[in-house]
Amino acid sequence: MKNATYSIACDASGTSDNAINFAKSTAEMAPASAQVQALLRLRELILSGELAGGARIAELSIVDKLGFSRTPIRAALMRLEQEGLLDALPNGGYAVKTFSERDVSESIELRGTLEGLCARLAAERGAAPVLLSEARDCLRSIDTVLSQSALNDEAFSRYVTLNAQFHALLSEMAGSAVISKELERVSSLPFASPSGFVLMQANSEKARDRLIVAQDQHWQVLDAIDRREGSRAESLMREHSRIAQRNLRDVVQSQRIDQMPGVRLIRKRS
């Protein structure tokens, strides 16, 4: 479940064309299975805390540690830099990146603002009936997941998949390639995705209750879009992102922080 939980979409903004082309060329040289395995293992080392925030990473040391050749390791390091989990150092090598609590909070706020805009545009322009139908089917599936009195790991994972699907449909409803691209970029920032903290709190007593609240907001947003109520749809979607803000605060303040992969990369507010 770790890989599904913490896989963060690639954000190539700020990466040079030469670096991207080099990553593509190394990707073509290495067997796909070795690339994927190297990427997953290296990401797991970072998110588990085995490679601590700020730690310097040399390519050869990772080759020795993981037992892969240099080509897939090099591709994995460049991919993780694009994802935002590593910083490239001026003199070569990489360092594990850390994030302030404010960084993550502002990323979530920005995502909520863009999703609110998507909801308003979808309502004002009129969402395609097929997208509205797919969104209803998606929410009905989430209802089924949440109908259980207690949620196991499989149920939480299923929720994450369906939640991502709903948010993607919302973006598509807006009919704006520009906004969708910006939303995808923001959501790819570490911990800023719609389900960024869901599985980290799978064992929390409040987890299922918050998902039920979030699901009610999903239905209300969809109703507002269907009724062409743009301001209401935008307001609801921006409020929806505040659940992620509460999850962020709870996770950072948790006494179980050492048991939550990735959270140790977030620096608490002083």
Span of 47-61, 96-110, 131-145 with lowest mean pLDDT: 47-61
Q: Considering only 8-17, 69-78, 154-163, which range has the smallest mean pLDDT?
A: 8-17
Numbered ranges of CATH 1.10.10.10 in the chain? 2-97
More confident residue, 77 or 190: 77
Which CATH class name applies to 2-97?
A: mainly alpha
Say what the pLDDT of residue 102 is.
87
Confidence of residue 10 (pLDDT cuts 50, 70, 90): very low
Q: What is the pLDDT of residue 156?
A: 85
The SS3 assignment for 217 reads helix
Q: Percentage helix, strand, coil, to 5, in the chain?
A: 70, 5, 25
- Cβ contact 2:261 at 8 Å: yes
Across residues 187-202, what is the average pLDDT? 72
Q: Residue 91: what pLDDT?
A: 85
- At residue 88, the 3 state secondary structure works out as strand
Which one has a higher pLDDT value, 180 or 101?
180
pLDDT tens readout for residues 227-256: 999 999 999 999 999 988 888 887 777 655
Closest CA to 96 of 51, 40, 38, 41: 51
Indicate the pairing of strand 86-88 with strand 94-96.
antiparallel
Looking at the domain that runs over 101-267, which CATH code has it been given?
1.20.120.530
Task: Of 11-15, 248-252, 256-260, give the range with the top mean pLDDT.
Answer: 248-252
Percent of the chain with pLDDT over 70: 80
Interval 252-268 mean pLDDT: 63
What is the pLDDT at residue 25? 41
Where are the CATH 1.20.120.530 domain residues in the chain?
101-267
As a whole number, mean pLDDT of residues 150-171 equals 90
How much of the chain, in percent, has pLDDT values that exceed 90? 36
**The whole model's pTM is what?**
0.69
C-beta of residue 100 within 8 angstroms of C-beta of residue 267:
yes
**Residue from 48, 80, 42, 44 nearest 61 by CA:** 42
Predicted confidence (pLDDT) at residue 23 exceeds the cutoff of 50 = no
Segment 41-90, tens digit of pLDDT:
888 788 777 888 888 988 888 898 888 888 989 998 988 887 778 889 99
Maximal CA-CA distance, the chain? 59
pLDDT bracket for residue 260 (50, 70, 90): low
